[in-house]
Amino acid sequence: MLSSLQPKIRALVLDMDGVLWRGSQPVGDLAAVFARIEMLGLKVICATNNSTSTPEQFAEKLAGMGAQLAPQFILNSALAAAHYLKRQHPEGGPVFLVGEIGLMQALQESGFWQAEKDVLAVVAGMDRQFSYAKLAAATRLIRNGAPFIGTNPDKTFPTPDGLAPGSGSMLAAIEAASGVIPTIIGKPFPYLYQVALERLGTSPMETLAVGDRLETDILGGQRAGMRTALVLSGVSSRYDLADWASPPDLVATDLSELLG
């Protein structure tokens, strides 16, 4: 299936939830999938909007499913947000953070620390300890001129009990209170993919963005100028494709079928 694309695909940027796993269950034989990627000589980075976990935690989850991938080949919206800030402020500095360990660690490793005044930016993502006090502090800082950066716009995420509020819900509350629209780093905006391309050292046309959501993974890859592949192992279905104006380059049941 990959061989049908020209110029030849040299690298993959894989979404994780819905592509590699669904909740705590792997999608297919992940050990065989990664062995196939290696056999094809493809570079790979896993890129996810999920800002709550660290690359080490994602790598550990993969290892528990039989696949080995070093943390440096895992990129999430937290790391991309830190990359974005570091480009603007190479020396680092104080930020106000709304988020969990994944975002905290990414910012700390790039030289940024938590503060509540004179901050370089308000950086917000998924935060299961979100509170009125955090909302009030973020609002005050943004209204006083601090840039507002959001990791990703996902309003919900699936749980065994149904859809739960996601990062986009926190961003929406801060936007409503501050009157400022955030700069979004994650999919469907292209910055996360642009960081992945920088790490891979490949061009957009020789890199395939693989995901299970048309409105985030596929749209984000297309905005970054990449080729795209939809796998039907997660959220979007063939029925959804009928109403999608710009179809992906490839459609497969799952990652195993895509890799042939």
The helix/strand/coil state of 76 is: strand
CA angle 100, 236, 244 (to 5 degrees): 115
Known active-site residue 17: yes
Nearest in space to 188 (alpha carbons), one of 215, 168, 209, 150: 215
| Burial environment of residue 22 by CB neighbours within 10 A (0 to 12, 13 to 18, 19 or more) | middle
Nearest in space to 6 (alpha carbons), one of 227, 259, 257: 227
Query: CA–CA distance from 143 to each of 122, 128, 136, 178, 208 (Å)?
Result: 11, 24, 11, 6, 40
Do 149 and 185 meet the contact criterion of CB atoms below 8 Å apart? yes
Catalytic residue among 15, 127, 154, 254: 15
- For 75, residues 6+ apart whose C-beta sits below 8 A from its C-beta are 45, 46, 47, 48, 55, 192, 195, 196, 199
Distance in angstroms (rounded) separating the CA atoms of residues 10 and 101: 33
Distance in angstroms (rounded) separating the CA atoms of residues 197 and 189: 14
Known active-site residue 15: yes
Q: What region, left, alpha or beta, does residue 253 occupy, with left being phi > 0 and alpha being psi -120 to 50 degrees?
A: alpha
Catalytic residue among 17, 127, 217, 249: 17
Give the DSSP letter of residue 17.
Answer: B
**Annotated active-site positions, please?**
15, 17
